[in-house]
Amino acid sequence: MFENRWKEMQAWGFPSVQNKNELKWLYDNIEGANSYLEIGTSFGGSLYVIAGALKPGSTIVSVDLPKYRSNANKWGRDLKHFERVDWVADNLRAD
């Protein structure tokens, strides 16, 4: 499943700055988990891949700086790619 998610991520233009082997290690070690916190989501590539390792109905929390908002909007529009999880997106801003 990891290889499929990795190829889909690349095909859809969700780059991952994470090393593929490191991401595979994480995927293998959290497979079947029911929640995931990612700090520093940037383009959302690794988030997409890791979402495939989680149980259906899992909770994903993604945190990033406002300067990456346009990137988040890109993958946020394509929620169908996150079909295995319930999705809630909120913008958090510091005052």
pLDDT in tens, 59-78: 888 877 655 555 555 555 44
CA distance 42 to 61: 13
CA distance 16 to 90: 22
pLDDT over threshold 70, residue 82 = no
- Quick one: pLDDT at residue 95? 40
pLDDT tens-place string over residues 5-21: 999 888 887 777 789 99
pLDDT tens-place string over residues 21-71: 999 999 999 999 999 998 887 778 888 899 999 998 888 888 776 555 555
Residue 91 DSSP symbol: -
